[in-house]
Chains A and B, each alone.
Chain A
Amino acid sequence: EPEVTQTPSHQVTQMGQEVILRCVPISNHLYFYWYRQILGQKVEFLVSFYNNEISEKSEIFDDQFSVERPDGSNFTLKIRSTKLEDSAMYFCASGGVGYTFGSGTRLTVV
């Protein structure tokens, strides 16, 4: 069964550093998403991406965040100048109705 692949599975970074979280969506999917889950809280929508541009973003997705599809297969989330409160599990997803999630990247900001 096709999978959404995320790397790395766990990343530790120092406060103020930039991180790039990587995702390989399912190859024939056109819609891509990023969500995050802070420990003990709900899974929250960050951004959706279609046709090489952002189609919707949440209030959380401010100038600190950016997404890119640098080639035909990867979909990345960049977080600039990380803060302690950015520590969370970040999930990538792709597809239409009932889309497929990856296993997530656990980001720890120290």
Chain B
Amino acid sequence: GEDVEQSLFLSVREGDSSVINCTYTDSSSTYLYWYKQEPGAGLQLLTYIFSNMDMKQDQRLTVLLNKKDKHLSLRIADTQTGDSAIYFCAESNQGGKLIFGQGTELSVKP
């Protein structure tokens, strides 16, 4: 079945770039997403990329998609302490049901 995998933890210093990686198995994925979850809050959509794109940039966020390797990454430039959260990668086929990774906890140290 479909699966999405992420590393569990990432620690960076404030001002550095963070790169969160994700791999997925479903070759028919149409959309790939990054969601952010702060403590006690819901899942906030950060960005998504259509599967025929290689890259998408939105302010401090850059998403890279390697469809051949089924690898997705999220780069956060100039990481701030407010970026500390859990980041979830997810994929869907035709925009319906989402398959989530287990989330990467990003810790930003001052």
Identify the A interface with B (CB < 8 A): 4, 6, 31, 33, 35, 41-45, 48, 55-56, 58, 91, 93, 96-104
Q: Is the CB of A43 within 8 A of B97?
A: no
Interface majority SS (helix, strand, loop, mixed), chain A: strand
Which residues of chain A are near B92, meaning CB under 8 Å? 97
Q: Is the CB of A101 within 8 A of B99?
A: no
Task: Choose one: B88, B99, B101; the contact of A45 (CB below 8 Å).
Answer: B99
Question: Which A-chain residue is minimally distant from B88 (CB atoms)?
Answer: A43
Question: Which B-chain residue is minimally distant from A35 (CB atoms)?
Answer: B98
**Docked complex: B11-49 residues within 8 A CB-CB of A:** 31, 33, 35, 40-45, 48
A91-B43, A103-B41 known; A97 vs B98 contact (CB < 8 Å): no
**Docked complex Cα distance between A31 and B95 (Å):** 11
Q: Is the CB of B95 within 8 A of A97?
A: yes
Chain B residues within 8 Å of chain A by Cβ, number: 22
Q: Is the CB of B102 within 8 A of A42?
A: yes
**Docked complex Cα distance between A56 and B97 (Å):** 8
The CB with the most chain B CB atoms within 10 A, among A31, A33, A42, A58, is that of: A42
Which residues of chain A are near B102, meaning CB under 8 Å? 41-42
What's the nearest-Cβ distance from chain B to residue A60, in Å?
12
Question: Which B-chain residue is minimally distant from A57 (CB atoms)?
Answer: B97
**Docked complex Cα distance between A41 and B88 (Å):** 12
Task: Choose one: B35, B45, B100; the contact of A42 (CB below 8 Å).
Answer: B100
Q: Is the CB of A102 within 8 A of B42?
A: yes
Q: Is the CB of A43 within 8 A of B31?
A: no
Q: Is the CB of B48 within 8 A of A101?
A: no
Question: Which A-chain residue is minimally distant from B95 (CB atoms)?
Answer: A97
Q: Is the CB of B96 within 8 A of A98?
A: no
